[in-house]
Homo-oligomer: A and B are copies of this chain.
Amino acid sequence: MTGYLIDSLTTTDALAEAFSDASVLDAMVAFEVALTRASGSVGMIPARAAKVIEEALAPEVLANRPIDAREIAEGGRTSATPAIAMVNALKDRVRTIDRDSAGYVHWTATSQDVTDTALVLLLRRAVGIIAKDQDRIRESLKNLSDAHAGTLMLGRTLLQPAAPMTFGLKAAGWYRAVTRSWHRLIDACEHGLVLQYGGATGTRAAASGRGAAVAVAMASELGLRVAVPWHTDRDGFGSIATASGLYTAALAKIARDISLLMQAEVSEVAESGGGSSSMPHKRNPAGCTVALAAATRVPGLVAAFLSGMTHEHERSAGGGQAEWSTLAALVQATGAAAAAMARVLEGLTVDVRRMRDNLDATGGTIYADRAVTLLTGKIGADTAHTIVAKVLQHSRESGRRFSEVLLSQSEVAAALSPEELAGLVRPESAVGDAEALRVQLLSERD
């Protein structure tokens, strides 16, 4: 894709930049330069060659005369990897300086060594970008939860009023899922973002016994952990893909809730911004929409990655060659969701009054199960159920509040004290362990 627009809602500027041609070329060159340095340092290639290559591929040199990304891309399609055209382009650069040194570019490495390590470097940078938004999200959620520890609201199941809870508990649940999922992604990166260096079939044969030393030196250059060649073991990337999927889903759950709470008829929270091209009055859940769009896109990309993991022998013919585009799209969508939700949560306004009004508007029917529970101890479960069912029906038909009708029942008046009845329909008394659970959710590390 050569642009910002077609993918505009499923990436961010920073992440688009992180996977731009310039970034990809940088990452590939970084691998080749690290390989050259490492090879020189262990005496595997002539010191002069190492020096010439490093100079020829220095950032400022390449900045002056950039490599033609389009040519590399076209070459990539002919050989099913961009590495060959890239290596050839680099050799051409070196050859203009020193003919013999050119032969030492990419020395002992195979195409997948550079494409995998480059992707590792790109993902490391991308996840670093997302981490900043995750910090904002975590902070905002914690603050929202603390600020609304006592804010009463309707809990809703299957989109229907269920029982009271606090907004603080709701925000703490969001916090927990998103934080736990983020840690899973970070763990996956720590295990999966490691050096790839194995040569043709992963034996490092071309390095004639110096492969391990070269690997250590390269990894150190690139700030990566060294690893046994993993050309066809894709579970490292795979666990980053799946962890991204879980993290995006946790963000999208928040977005779903907020977009529902923002409905005009509910109006319990609002994100800032969100206009329309034809309707000046609109305040759309624009950020939530971006996060939900990402979550629509991501599961299929996870599936695409997983179904490509069945690599043939020592290098796949098909399964692996879509990984660059799939992981890049996946991580960008994840980051788009994180950026959007960071903005949404930092700017979220909460209408405490409206939350209470919506609770009250249920007419007390949400306390029906509390009534059953309370009455059961006094008059037995079956009678309790029968009375409450009758009261609910009467309340529905007459439009009178459930609590009023309930109190008017002689069996109830006989069984419950006025204090018990009042407490029954008071939301403050009906949120159970909300606060204790909230605190527990915020303190868990998992």
With an 8 A cutoff between CB atoms, is A31 at the interface? no
CA distance A206 to B209 in the complex (A): 58
A269 to chain B, nearest CB (A): 12
- Known contacts A11-B1, A13-B70; is A278 also within 8 Å of B169 by CB? no
Complex contact A12–B77 (CB within 8 A): yes
Please encode chain A, from 56 to 71, with 1 for each CB lying within 8 Å of some chain B CB and 0 for all others. Answer: 0000000000000110
Task: Report yes or no: A79 in contact with B253, Cβ–Cβ below 8 A.
Answer: no
Whether A388 contacts B280 in the complex (CB less than 8 A), given A200-B155, A246-B306, comes out as yes
Q: Given contacts A203-B169, A280-B389, are A340 and B77 in contact (CB under 8 A)?
A: yes
Does A366 lie at the interface of the complex (its beta carbon under 8 Å from any beta carbon of B)? yes
- Known: A6-B324, A265-B265. Contact between A205 and B317, CB under 8 A? no
Q: Does A34 contact B (CB under 8 A)?
A: no
Residues of B within 8 A of A201 (CB): 155-157, 162-165
- Given known contacts A263-B266, A277-B84, is B292 in contact with A302 (CB within 8 Å)? no
Task: Please judge, given known A-B contacts A9-B322, A78-B273, whether A313 and B156 are in contact too, CB under 8 Å.
Answer: yes
Please state if B304 and A199 are interface contacts (CB–CB under 8 Å).
no
- The segment out of A133-141, A143-151, A374-382, A408-416 that lies at the interface is A374-382
Is A9 in contact with B80, judged by CB distance below 8 angstroms? yes
Which positions 70-104 of chain A face chain B at CB distance < 8 Å? 70, 72-74, 76-84, 87, 99-104
Answer yes or no: A372 CB below 8 A from chain B CBs.
yes
Contact A314 B25 (CB under 8 A): no
Instruction: Decide if A350 is an interface residue (CB 8 Å cutoff).
Output: no
B385 x A280 contact (CB < 8 A):
yes
What separation, in Å, do the CA atoms of A218 and B302 have in the docked complex? 36
Q: How far is the CA of A79 from the CA of B273 in the complex (A)?
A: 7
* Number of chain copies forming the complex: 4
The residue on B at minimum CB distance from A247 is B235
Whether A128 is near chain B, meaning CB under 8 Å from some CB there, is no
Residues A157 and B276 in contact in the complex (CB < 8 Å), given A239-B184, A314-B165, A380-B103:
yes
Q: Are A211 and B433 in contact (CB under 8 A)?
A: yes
A69→B314 contact, CB < 8 A: no
- Whether B235 pairs with A181 at a CB distance below 8 angstroms is yes
> Once the chains are docked, how many angstroms separate the CA of A180 from the CA of B233?
10
Bound-state CA distance A81–B276 (Å) is 9
Is A41 positioned at the interface, with any CB of B under 8 Å from its CB?
no
Query: Which residue from B22, B155, B317, B372 sits with its C-beta under 8 Å from A159?
Result: B317
Cα A301 to Cα B245 with chains together (Å) = 13
Does A204 sit within 8 A of B, measured CB to CB?
yes
Q: Is the CB of B203 within 8 A of A434?
A: yes
Contacts A201-B165, A310-B252, A389-B280 given; indicate if A159 touches B303 (C-beta within 8 A). no
The answer to whether the Cβ of A336 comes within 8 Å of any Cβ in the partner chain is yes
What CA separation (Å) do A339 and B74 show in the bound complex?
12
* 20 sampled A-B residue pairs with Cβ under 8 A: A3-B20, A4-B69, A5-B21, A8-B72, A13-B74, A103-B376, A109-B278, A114-B277, A155-B201, A156-B315, A204-B433, A229-B437, A235-B250, A256-B311, A256-B312, A280-B389, A281-B368, A296-B308, A299-B302, A300-B301
Nearest 4 CB-CB pairs, A to B?
Answer: A103-B381, A292-B318, A155-B201, A205-B432
